[in-house]
Structure 1
C-alpha cells in the first residue's frame, strides 16, 4: 500500500504508539531487547544474537561474495568488532548510488570492508580516498580489492586523516566529494566533520558512525574523551543549519548529514 493511502486510524495509532514508546523511555521503563539490543555490549540496537536481527539480514542483505569473504576474515580478527555492520554498509552504498556518487572519502578503513563496499558501487572512474594510520589491518582486505577489480578506484592514504583532508582542500577539491564516512578516532570527530563539510558538495552526504557509542552517550563521563566528543558532535549536529540530519539506530548508531 502506498504511504499516501494509509488510513487516518492507522496514522493516529502509529503516532500514539510512538508517543507511548517515547514516554516510556523518558520514564526510564525497560523494553525488550528488540529495541535496545540483546545486551549492553551488543553493537546492534536490535541484538545481533536475536532472531529478529537475523530475519532482517535474511530478508534484506544483498552482500557481494567478496564482501562476505572479507567480513568473515575480519570477524576472525581480534579487533573484528570494529568493522562496520554489513546492513549499515549496504544502506550507505544505496544512498551513495542514489546521489550518483563518484568521489567518496572514508576516514577509518580497518580491513577495508566498507572501502570495498563503496568501490563496488562507484563508476569505473570513481574514487575512494581511504584514510587510515595502520596498514597492517588494511592488508587483510587489499587482496580482495584486487580480486574484485576495484583496486584502481581506491586511493589509500596511510597517515593522519586530518593531514589527508588538509591536502585535499589545498589541492582545490573543496565541494567536489559526494559522500564521506567518518569512523575513526572519536576525539577528532568534530574536526573530521568540519573538514568533510568543506569537501562534500551541496546535496552530498556525511555519514558519522558510532553516534550511540554503546549507550555511553546517555551519561558521558567527564574523563571519557571519546564519549564526550561524540556527544558534543551529536548536540552540535542537532542545531547545525548547514545540514539536514537523521540519526539511525543501526549498528552502533549512525547519523546522516545531508549538506544544504
Structure 2
C-alpha cells in the first residue's frame, strides 16, 4: 500500500509516487525506442545515407578540377574568339599525360556530359600523345584528332570550371550552362525531360484522385465494421504497402 509523508504520496518501498511513475514512464519509452530502433537504423542505412550521398555527389564537380586544374585557370583567360594558345594546349597535354588512368577515366566521362565526344577524344589522344616528345603541341594534337581544333569542345570546358555545379539539375528541366556559365535551354532535340515531368505529374494527380475516391469509403468501412473484420481488412490494406516498400528497398540495395 502507498503511504503519505509530509503531503507526498509514497509507494510501498518508500519511493515518492511521482518518481516511481517517471521511472516507469522512462522504461516504457526506452522499451518503445528499442522496438523502433531496428527499423530506424534500417531506413537510415538503406535510404537516408544513400540519398544524402547522392545529393552531395550531384553538385560535386571536384573530380574534373583535380585532373586539369591548370587548364581551367588558363581557360578563364581565354577570349573564346579563336583557338586557345599554345600554352593551353601544352598544359592540357601535360595534365592528361601525368594523370592516373582512373583519373582520366572519370574526368573524360565528366567531360563527355558537357560535350559528347570528349571521352573518345581523351582515350584516343592519351594513347597517341606518347609519340609526342616536345612542342609545339598545338599542331601535333590537331594532327592526331581534328576535334582539338573544334571550338565547341574547348568551350564545353567552361561548364566544368567551378568545383560546385547545378548542371545535373538544370539538365532535368531541359536547361544547361553555356561556355560562359549562363543558363540556356537545351537544343530542341534534347528537350525530353519537361514532357516527362508533365506526364509524371499528370499520372500522379490521377492516382491521387482515385486514391481519394476509393480511400474514403474504405476508411469509413474500416471505422464502422466490428473489430475482428476491421483488423482483417486493415491487414489486406497494409500488405501491398509493405510488399512495395520491401521490393523498393531490395532494388535500391
Q: What TM bracket, shorter-length normalisation?
A: under 0.3
Q: TM-score, normalised by structure 1?
A: 0.24
Q: TM-score, normalised by structure 2?
A: 0.25
Which one has a bigger Cα radius of gyration?
Answer: 2
